[in-house]
Each structure stands twice: as C-alpha cells, then as structure tokens.
Structure 1
Amino acid sequence: MASRSEGAPQKRVVPGSEGAVSAADLLAKVRDCAEVSSGRYRTDADQPATVPVCGTDRAVHWTADMDIDCDGRPGPHCNAGSDLSFSDATAFTQSDGRYLSAEELPYIVVPGASDIWDYRAHGVRGGSVAAVVYGDRVQYAVVGDTGPDEIIGEASYATAQALGISADPHGGGAPSGVTYIVFKDSEVSPIEDHAAAVATGERLARSFVNGD
C-alpha cells in the first residue's frame, strides 16, 4: 500500500460509493453549464422543459430526476407483472446478443437522438461510462438504453439501488438532484462488465476532476 504523506488531507469515501473520487469534487467540476443541447428536456411528460444538456471538452452532463428503467431481460423485480410499461428490450445488447438486465447492471438512459440533442454527435454511445451522483454517493454505470426524445433523467433498477434510491418502478426514483456525467469517447466492452465500468469510470473521473 502506498504511504500517505504525514498531514496530507484524507479523502472520505462514502459507503455505497465506488472509488475515491468524491461526489463533491465531481459536482464542483459541473457547477457551470455550457449548453450543448439545442433546447431543454422535460423530466416527465407533464413537466415543463427546463433541463439542458451541458458539455465540457471531456464530458456531457445534466442534473434531473431519476425515473426507474426496468426494461431488458425480465427478473424477479423487473417484469411485465411488476412494471406496466415493461419492455423486454434495451437499445443496446450484451456481448452474447441478449438484452441488458436492469436488475443486475447499473446503466443510464439517454434521450433518443433528436433536434434537441443527438448524443452520438458528442462522443456518447452504448457502453459509454457515466458517473451518477446523488447526495454524497457516486455510482459508475454505462449508457445502456435510450428513452423518449423529449424526456431526460432515467437509470436502471440497479443504478438506483446502488445510490440508495427506491428502485420500485411504481413510485420509486428521485424527484430531483441526480447528476449524470457521461465521459466522451469512453466505452466499456463488453458492456455488461460492471467491474470494467468502475475501473474506467474511476480513472476518467479522477482525470476529469484533476484536469489531467
């Protein structure tokens, strides 16, 4: 183990967070918003369009709510019985061709490409690595699905659970305060390798925070 300089400040790692890059450090880097979307998104169909997608040279980011995506391979918690809007498909698939499992894999949902914003033009694709920040927790995830082209703020059952957010597809999620940071031109392959997403995310987050 590397020795720590005497008197050097120690970074507190919050239980439930993955890695040593703190939520506060990440949020400080995305405090300002240089809008890259041509318009703004709704967090739900009945809400006003108030959320922009912001960009830096290394990442795109937005702060919104978190709706629960239970789509993909069915399981005990995510299935047609538990979620009336359940779909057994995700926009991106595993290396074996099967759809992703929302219960098992931390992933986020990006809005479908539209005149508001086309994620593909900003170095984002299936398997891109994201840091999801809620309160003092950081969860690394991949881009695993696409959603409605006018709504933003959604992540898988597994992502919510890891962040201490209720993952119930009916009434779960978080109403606000979730920040999604997607690192441009990053990709985990195979997409289902969460350990690789954590390792890559931690490295990219550290570089992002330090400005390396």
Structure 2
Amino acid sequence: MGDDHSEGLRMLSHRTAELPAASGKFGPVARGPLSSPSRAGAGGRAGRSRNRPGPPAPGPAPPTHRAHGGRAPSGPAQGGRAGVSGTDEAECPSMPPRRGHIVRVQSLTLVAASAALLAPTTFPGAPPPPLPEPPAQLLLPGAPDRPGPLRADRSGVRIGPVPHVPAGQPAPHVRQRTDSGPEAGPRAQRDASGSPVRAADLLARVRDCDPVSRGRYRSDAGAPADIPVCGTKEAVYWKADLDVDCDGRPGDRCNSGTDPHFSPATAYTGSDGRPLDAERLPYVVVPGPSDTWDHREDGVRGGSLAALVHGDRVRYAVVGDVGPSDLIGEASYAAARSLGIPADPEGGGVASDVTYIVFKGSQVEPIDDTAAAEKAGERLARRFVDGG
C-alpha cells in the first residue's frame, strides 16, 4: 500500500506540472515533442488526446519494472494499460489530429465549385437560331407584283440535234458586214443614220397577224390555247409570256438543284459539240414540230436569228432549243436577264408582253457567237422595219 500511495503522488505531481500559475487551465509549460500548438488548439481538443508528461520534475525517478531481456512484463501494467509501461508510452510518436474527413470534404467542395466555374455557360431553354429568310425578289419597273408563273414541265422529249439542211439547199448564212468600219459597241451594227432599231418600230411592224400555224399554243400548262404564230415573207413572230429555260450545260445558276425541270441537253450544240450554255448564250425556244406548226417549213432552224422585244428593250438571240409541241414562250436565262426579266428558273420570267421575231432563212455560225448575232440581228431588224 505504501508503494502504491507514493506512486500516485508522483503521477499527480507530474500532471500538475502543466498547470499554469494564473490561468487555472491545463496547458503545456515546456514545448517538447509531445506538446505542440496543434494538439492544444481551441476548443480543448488537446484534452481529448493522451496527456503526455513533460520533462520530469526534480526528484527521484519513478521505478521502472522490466522483465528479463528488456521487455515489459506481460499482463496489465499500472494505470490499467496492458503491455505498455510509462517509459514505452513516452516513446510513442505523437498522433495528428483527426481532421482527415473534414479536409477531404472541403477539398471535394472546392473541386466541384471550380468545375462549375470552368464549365461553359449554356441555357437549356434558349431558342434555336432563326432560319434564314428567303432572298428578296427584285421587282423591276413595269414587272407585275405577283408570284412567278406556273411553270410547265418542259423536261419531255426534245428533238435534236436537228439535222442540217440537205446538200443542194444551203441555208443563207448571216455574215458580218465588212464595209461599215469599226463598231462602237457589241450591238452597234446600225443603219446609215447611226440609231439602233427601236422597240416601237418593231412592234408597229408586227401589229397585225397573218397566221402561219394551223392552231394555237398555250403559254403554260393549264392555260388556254390562244397564241397563234404569225408570219410575213421575212419573219415569223408571236406574242407570249417568257418562261426561263435553264437547260443545257450545267452552271452555277442553271442545274438540277435550281431548276426542277432541268435537262442537261439542248436540241442544238455549240461550236465545241457540247450542249448550249443557257447562263451565257441568249437563245429562244421554239415548239416541237407538230400538226399545229413545223418551224422548219418556215426556214427556222438552230442558229436562226431572233429579235426579242419587252417594254422599250430590244435584244437579239438565236434559236437554241426545241420545247414541247403544245407550248410557246420560252427563252434562256441569259436572254431573260438581257431584257431585265427576273431570271430565276423556278420563279422568274414574266406572264406576258414579250414579242418573239425570228427571221426566216437566217443563221449564225457558230451558234454561240453572241457578238455576230447582235450585229447581224440589228441589220436584219432594220431591214424588217423598213419593209424589205
């Protein structure tokens, strides 16, 4: 009993050694390996750790019992600790505070917040971008404010290339005059007065109609057949609408994507043997031969010269294609543009007021020589207006 009492007094003296003189609270006096600020933090967390003795107070050292071989005796040691003596316990390393879960939760929170800041800003309810509006259609002065005419399906069988005139019956060729001197422009073949043929003069010449067709044509599918082909000894002519023909050589504006009735062929071919180019060559389309009218009987063939009149404009073209045998009133993309008519192959064209005059027995070679067609067309138009 005496030894136990003495041992208890020594342990009590060790614990009271950490009591500050004035605070009345436990705390380390001398900072050693077992007394660190982290283990004596706020909230008394150090009180939940093991109380490690500081440097021993002066006095006799507590007895240390060791078994033979330097090992602590088996069985419970004093103070109720099993297998651990006071000396062994002082040599144990200090344990860090149990804050691992708290630190890990804070780290995950910071990572999630950073990912939210770096993520692209999207709005699920944002409306889709607006669809592009269809291009506005330019309405020229005098053009009716209406949708495009109902296009006929002109993709049927076309005749061509039309055979040339048999030998012994050569067609009269139109050649450029050589006695007129240099020309001032691409359509500058003029009369002696130097003025071009006017639209009013041509329209006055074709005011009356002497029909050469045995029946009449439709302007479009479903329209009434009320258009005759008229003629004089110099020319044949008709007054109709203008549907845009984009057949022939495909291009940026004339192809199967822009024209639902596109055909990659024309009845007549160019100087290179390929189909004509509707985007660049002004040409007119004549109806296919039928009981109503056979254009070949009136000296009209591929390359024949034609004058087109719309409003106050006169433009010259060639016969370049053959269409359905019951429809009339069609010209190439380039011809429509030259007359100031909207040239969109699907919705362009004009419903009326286009006069087609084709000069009998005329022909331009090569068929795609636009400069020669303009000069020769001006000369033939002047002759036609003058009555001979």
Task: Using the TM superposition, give the Cα deviation of residue 95 of structure 1 relative to its aligned residue in structure 2, in angstroms.
Answer: 1.6
Percentage of matched positions with identical amino acids: 66
Which structure's residues are more often helix, by fraction? 2
What corresponds to 2:371 in structure 1?
195
Report 1:87-102 matches (<5 A). 87-102=263-278
Report 1:115-134 matches (<5 A). 115-134=291-310
Per-residue CA deviations over 1:140-178 (Å, capped at 9, x if unaligned) read: 000000000000000000000000000001110010000
Task: Using the TM superposition, give the Cα deviation of residue 45 of structure 1 relative to its aligned residue in structure 2, in angstroms.
Answer: 1.1
What corresponds to 1:41 in structure 2?
217
Q: Which whole-Å CA distance do the structure 2 matches of 1:68 and 1:120 have between them?
A: 23
1:161 aligns with 2:323: no
Report 1:7-156 matches (<5 A). 20-156=196-332
Q: Which whole-Å CA distance do the structure 2 matches of 1:105 and 1:181 have between them?
A: 17
Per-residue CA deviations over 1:69-109 (Å, capped at 9, x if unaligned) read: 00000100000111111001000001211100000000000
Which structure's residues are more often strand, by fraction? 1
What corresponds to 1:13 in structure 2?
none
What corresponds to 2:9 in structure 1?
none
Per-residue CA deviations over 1:106-127 (Å, capped at 9, x if unaligned) read: 0000000000000000010000
Gaps of 5+ in 1: 3-16
Per-residue CA deviations over 1:12-32 (Å, capped at 9, x if unaligned) read: xxxxx8761000000000000
What corresponds to 2:46 in structure 1?
none
SS of the residue 1:139 aligns to: strand
From 172, 175, 197, give the equivalent of 2:348: 172
Which deviates more from structure 2 when the two are superposed, residues 51-60 or residues 19-28? Answer: 19-28
Amino acid at match of 2:243: D
Q: Which whole-Å CA distance do the structure 1 matches of 2:202 and 2:256 have between them?
A: 36
Structure 1 length-normalised TM:
0.91
CA RMSD of aligned residues (A): 1.2
Task: Using the TM superposition, give the Cα deviation of residue 193 of structure 1 relative to its aligned residue in structure 2, in angstroms.
Answer: 0.1
Q: Which whole-Å CA distance do the structure 2 matches of 1:95 and 1:78 have between them?
A: 20
Q: Which whole-Å CA distance do the structure 1 matches of 2:292 and 2:332 have between them?
A: 23
Q: Which whole-Å CA distance do the structure 2 matches of 1:121 and 1:132 have between them?
A: 21
SS of the residue 2:362 aligns to: coil
SS of the residue 1:131 aligns to: strand
Superposition misfits of 4+ residues, deviation over 6 angstroms: none
Q: Which whole-Å CA distance do the structure 2 matches of 1:201 and 1:59 have between them?
A: 12
Amino acid at match of 1:157: Y
Structure 2 length-normalised TM:
0.50
Task: Using the TM superposition, give the Cα deviation of residue 210 of structure 1 relative to its aligned residue in structure 2, in angstroms.
Answer: 0.7
